[in-house]
Amino acid sequence: MIAHMKPSSGAHVGANNSVSHIMWQVMLAISPATAFGLLCFGWPALNLFVITVLSAVAFEALCLRLKGRVAKPVIMDGSAVLTGWLLAMTLPPWAPWWVGVVGSGLAIILGKQVYGGLGQNLFNPAMLARVALLISFPIEMTTWANVSPLFFSHSPGLIESWHITFSGLDNIDASTGATTLGFIKTEFSQNRLLTDILKDTSGFLSFIGWSRGSLGETSALLLGLGGIWLIRQNIIQWQIPVSLLLTVALLAGVFHTMDSEHYVSPLLHLNSGALMCVAFFIATDYVTSPNTKAGQLVFGAGCGLLIFVIRTWGAYPEGAGFAVLLMNSATPLIDHYIRPRIYGRDRKGKPLEIPKS
């Protein structure tokens, strides 16, 4: 006879999915865009990326030790690496090393561990860190390096890149400039019109990512492809990206047709800033987004609306970080009001009436 076994209930078989599987798939999806960004911005970008990810892992290990837990199994689930990676993607590519370290610290400690660890945070950790960095260190966070692709002549070599990362840039004006959105905002204050401002900007180059911007967020094309792949793999649902992008595009379209000299076109919106990255990888974060499909549509639309409003009328050229944080705070409210209908009950929770037949 087989020996006695303890009672087990519920589903005895499973889908063989796991948290680390999900995390690694997301990392796979953002790899093309990240690789392209590293290629575009050279060694300093690589240094920053490595430093940010490693410090994220280090801070996570530190917090776990303080809690009295074994660090390795938790690190292996990949969530700290992913947080560091996403944060690195949103940083200016030639930012000094301490921006990466402070950012990771804010993201992991204040954005995740003080709430209780994985699954407990209210705000997206990467966005929390980025916004905190932006407000605290505006100069460093708005210094956008020119595109100086790796192995090309004007790209800094390895030793020079360490100098840039650890001691800061020497001649800022020669090697940096403004992003498209930032340029538009400053030029608007000079009362120039859009067609005039944008005459040197190529839409195609912005689309593939050959323009100034954050480390991993320049290439709308690669981010979009990665995002679509994630949806196909059923890791994320289409509701948030589609509603977010559609809302931005619609609003931009409406205002652009009304006044094409003062309002940026929808295509430019989609190509620039962090929009693609936020739509597919940041707003879709499980922990901070609503649980139901309808709720996710509302969430995405809200993000899109806020992004458009901040970009057009706000003081900052890029509003995605703020928009995501604001909508994260609204997620519990969305979840409270938008819930699935229980079988046999109406929307309010009362049993249905018996159909008279």
Q: Which residues bind other proteins (CB under 8 A)?
A: 1-19, 21-22, 68-70, 73-74, 77, 79, 117-120, 286-287, 290-293, 339-345, 349, 351-355, 357
Closest separation between CB of residue 128 and other proteins, Å?
17
Cβ proximity to other proteins: between 157 and 340 the closer is 340
* 176 Cβ contact list (under 8 Å, min separation 6): 94, 143, 144, 145, 146, 169, 212
Residue 30's H or E segment, with its range, is helix 19-67
CB of 262 to other proteins, least distance (A): 38
In contact, 271 and 206? CB cutoff 8 Å: yes
CA pair distance 69, 60, nearest whole angstrom: 11
Q: Please answer whether residues 144 and 211 qualify as being in contact, where contact means their C-beta atoms are separated by less than 8 angstroms.
A: no
CB of 282 to other proteins, least distance (A): 15
**For other proteins, the closer CB: 66 or 193:** 66
Q: Cβ closer to other proteins: 116 or 138?
A: 116
10 Å CB burial of residue 247 (0-12, 13-18, 19+) is: buried
Distance of closest approach, residue 77 Cβ to other proteins, in angstroms: 7
Contact present, 318 and 87 (Cβ < 8 Å): no
Judged by beta carbon, residue 77 or residue 160, the one nearer other proteins is 77
Decide whether 11 or 315 has the Cβ nearer to other proteins.
11
Nearer to other proteins (CB atom), residue 1 or residue 258: 1
Distance (Å, whole) CA 150 – CA 244? 33
Rounded to whole angstroms, how far apart are CA atoms 351 and 176?
Answer: 64
Q: How far is the CB of 21 from other proteins (least distance, A)?
A: 7
β partners of residue 177: 144
Whether 221 contacts 208, CB under 8 Å: yes
Which lies closer to other proteins via its Cβ, residue 69 or residue 262? Answer: 69
Please give the Cα distance from 197 to 186 (Å, whole number). Answer: 10
Q: How far is CA 132 from CA 48, 107, 127, 206, in A?
A: 18, 9, 8, 27
State the minimum distance, in angstroms, from the CB of residue 14 to other proteins: 3
* Residue (22 or 249) nearer to other proteins, CB: 22
> What is the chain's Cα-based Rg?
22
Residue 351, SS3? strand
Q: How far is the CB of 31 from other proteins (least distance, A)?
A: 21
> How many angstroms separate the CA atoms of 54 and 250, rounded?
40
- Residue 190 tokens, joined: 């000079």
Residue 26 or 169 having the CB closest to other proteins: 26
Judged by DSSP in three states, 160 sits in helix
For β-strands 176-177 and 144-145, DSSP reports them as: antiparallel
Q: Helix, strand or coil for residue 145?
A: strand
Beta pairing partners, 351? 345
Rank residues 119 and 157 by Cβ distance to other proteins and give the closer one: 119
CB of 234 vs other proteins, minimal distance in Å: 9
Region of residue 71 (phi > 0: left; psi between -120 and 50: alpha; otherwise: beta)? alpha
CB of 273 to other proteins, least distance (A): 27
State the minimum distance, in angstroms, from the CB of residue 285 to other proteins: 9
